[in-house]
A and B are shown apart, each in its own frame.
Chain A
Amino acid sequence: MHKDESSEFYIGYQPQGPAGIMRYVRLRLILLAATVISVAILLVYGQRPFADSFFDFGNLQDFEGYVIERPVPLLMVEKIGAPGSLPVRRDYVLVAEGKHGAESIINGFNGKKVRLRGTLIRRDGIEMIEIAGGSVQAIGSKSRSLSKEGGAVGKYILTGEIVDSKCYLGVMNPGQSKPHRECASLCIRGGIPPLFVVRDAAGRKLHLWLLSADGLPVNMDVLDFVAEPVEISGAVEKIDGKLYFLIDPVSISRLKM
């Protein structure tokens, strides 16, 4: 207790508070300042490490390549490699701005060569382009399709987390787990391709694009299961180096936390 409490009386609208009380308060304010600084530092260091993802926000780039509408919207970009070698190919998953898929933007361009402007997104070796509105233009008459190289891998029961690929790959960081559930649900509802992130026996991450057994989008069927541990059974296919998980959404079950 303050020793001058019995003799001093504080009135806020007076220009100056009593000396003893104000000295007491100043000491407490120093303690409060130390607490504020300590809490800020503890909370900075206490946060879970952030994923090494990349969203090149504000830097629009031009891309040229072939549009593939299914199973997941892609831009196949081929660049001339070293003399005597095959062209180097890079695939970019396509999404629209905001929480929207690219389907309506690339509708009618399937297989065609286009030029578009967009923002690069990247994580774990997967690259994505957020297409700038109205920037897709057909160039040339050549067309391409996926090679289906590889095909069926096998049937599996896998455990992991369904994420919206756009946020997970870098637009938000963190873009997964409980605090991100509502956002992931809204993104997937808007057409962003859902990605199933699993870890294999060695602890390595695998990324599988979720599709129905017919290879069609399952977005609306997985909304209730995003951003939490789930188990899903289905068939894994590998097409042009990408893994696809063809599932019956009924097979999705929550894991107890």
Chain B
Amino acid sequence: MSHSYRAIGWNRQKRNYDLLVLSFIFVYLGIFIGLGAFIHPNATIETMLIRGLGTCALLMLHVILVIGPLCRLSSAFLPLLYNRRHLGVAMFFMALAHGGLSLFQFHGLGVLNPLVSLFISNLRYDSLSGFPFQPLGFLALLILFLMAATSHDFWLANLTAPVWKRLHMLVYVAYGLIMAHVALGVLQAETNPVLAVLVVIGVVMVMGLHLIAGARERPLDVEIATAGKEELIDVCSVNEIPEGRAHIATIYGERVAVFKHEGRVFALSNVCRHQNGPLGEGRIIDGCITCPWHGYQYLPETGMSPPPFTESVPVFNVEVRNGRVLVGGVRVESKK
């Protein structure tokens, strides 16, 4: 949570997370380049670096993309989500090193500006087999740069969560460009099927987990039938809601989290102000609704974050009649 901005709000788990990410990177590059130099003594170091950095970034991107759906399927994966932002920035630097080295290696020291050469040295844009794959990687790198550069709560607050979220959904465009970059580039030159098999496994895993997680989410979005916006809508029985936790229902196209705490019931937007995390999957800790993604907190009565924090989420009118929870369709903005 924030009331001022620091470059990184370090804590023990973030440090452990980053150490782990760096360890994985060093192990991967160590094996790829060290074993590579032994198995392929004729390979040049630039080639091994370009390939090692590129495949490392690709592997990291797959891990990043599967963390989201895995967390939807099991909250036990949430520790991997907590600092995913740093994983994303580290992945960008791997991709940048791969792209920068490639740009120098293949387009530097020539008669053309390297960026001009990148786009005109192969003009077979009309052919699938001959299609220039390097500009695809360059465009993906631009997207990854935008994401890494805005990967901070300062940008999240200033761009607003919906815009920031949409911007960061471009990771799927980058992923598509990168897979095309791989398929139209190195896969056309290599003869060993292991590379193609690994790529297919990666794509199937990313797409499959997203589809499974999406299918599991769908019932939540089944809207409760309503007559008019003024009506209080029966969303569940009080007994269905565990103490300190929430029942999630969709009314008027919006997910609402109905929390039970110390004999009272509260209805708030299910969307955390921080990164649109699912508040209804959170808990009430120390009297505050706590988001499961990054621990942002809100007071159940007002939807306001406890001072000095300033975030807030909308709250809804709620009543209990005969053991049933009724939520007002008319949204009441959080009380400031």
A52 CB to nearest B CB, Å: 6
Known contacts A13-B13, A13-B295: A183-B107 contact under CB 8 Å: yes
Residue in B closest to A10 when the chains form the complex, CB atoms: B78
Pick 16 A–B contacts, CB within 8 A, sort by A: A4-B76, A9-B283, A11-B290, A14-B295, A15-B12, A25-B77, A28-B77, A33-B27, A39-B28, A39-B55, A40-B55, A45-B194, A97-B109, A98-B109, A183-B121, A224-B124
A178 part of interface (Cβ distance < 8 Å): yes
A190 CB to nearest B CB, Å: 5
B288 CB to nearest A CB, Å: 11
- Could you tell me if A182 and B75 are in contact, using CB atoms closer than 8 angstroms? no
Which residue numbers of B lie inside 8 Å of A, CB to CB? 9, 11-14, 20, 24, 27-28, 31-32, 35-36, 39-40, 42-44, 46-47, 51, 55, 59, 63, 73-80, 82-83, 105-112, 117-118, 121-124, 129-130, 132-134, 184-186, 188-192, 194-195, 198, 282-283, 285, 290, 292, 294-295
- Could you tell me if B79 and A21 are in contact, using CB atoms closer than 8 angstroms? yes
Find chain B residues with CB under 8 A from A186 CB.
106-107, 110-112, 117, 121
Q: Pick from A61-69, A84-92, A147-155, A169-177 the stretch touching chain B.
A: A169-177
Residue in B closest to A2 when the chains form the complex, CB atoms: B76
Find chain A residues with CB under 8 A from B63 CB.
32
Find chain B residues with CB under 8 A from A22 CB.
79
Find chain A residues with CB under 8 A from B191 CB.
48
- Could you tell me if A5 and B285 are in contact, using CB atoms closer than 8 angstroms? no
A140 part of interface (Cβ distance < 8 Å): no
Measured between alpha carbons, how far is A183 from B336 in the docked complex, in Å?
61
- Could you tell me if A185 and B42 are in contact, using CB atoms closer than 8 angstroms? no
Measured between alpha carbons, how far is A234 from B70 in the docked complex, in Å?
61
The size of the chain A interface, using a CB distance under 8 A, is 62
Out of A36, A37, A189, A257, which one reaches B111, CB within 8 Å? A189
B36 CB to nearest A CB, Å: 5
Known contacts A47-B192, A182-B121: A173-B14 contact under CB 8 Å: no
Measured between alpha carbons, how far is A47 from B212 in the docked complex, in Å?
33
Number of A-B contacts (CB under 8 A): 191
- Could you tell me if B118 and A32 are in contact, using CB atoms closer than 8 angstroms? no
- Could you tell me if A257 and B129 are in contact, using CB atoms closer than 8 angstroms? yes
Find chain B residues with CB under 8 A from A182 CB.
106-107, 117-118, 121-122, 132, 134
Find chain A residues with CB under 8 A from B39 CB.
44-45
Question: Given A1-B76, A36-B24, 17 more contacts at CB 8 Å?
Answer: A9-B282, A9-B290, A10-B79, A12-B295, A13-B295, A15-B13, A17-B13, A28-B80, A36-B28, A40-B31, A44-B40, A50-B43, A53-B42, A178-B130, A182-B118, A183-B107, A190-B110
B124 CB to nearest A CB, Å: 8
Measured between alpha carbons, how far is A229 from B188 in the docked complex, in Å?
13
Find chain A residues with CB under 8 A from B31 CB.
37, 40-41, 44
- Could you tell me if B75 and A178 are in contact, using CB atoms closer than 8 angstroms? no
Residue in A closest to B132 when the chains form the complex, CB atoms: A182
Measured between alpha carbons, how far is A228 from B189 in the docked complex, in Å?
10
Residue in B closest to A178 when the chains form the complex, CB atoms: B188
A180 part of interface (Cβ distance < 8 Å): yes
- Could you tell me if B42 and A50 are in contact, using CB atoms closer than 8 angstroms? yes
Find chain B residues with CB under 8 A from A4 CB.
76
- Could you tell me if A5 and B110 are in contact, using CB atoms closer than 8 angstroms? no
Residue in B closest to A224 when the chains form the complex, CB atoms: B123
Find chain A residues with CB under 8 A from B295 CB.
11-14
Measured between alpha carbons, how far is A55 from B43 in the docked complex, in Å?
11
A51 part of interface (Cβ distance < 8 Å): yes
Residue in A closest to B35 when the chains form the complex, CB atoms: A44
Measured between alpha carbons, how far is A238 from B255 in the docked complex, in Å?
79
Known contacts A10-B292, A12-B79: A41-B43 contact under CB 8 Å: no
B219 CB to nearest A CB, Å: 17
Find chain A residues with CB under 8 A from B80 CB.
25, 28
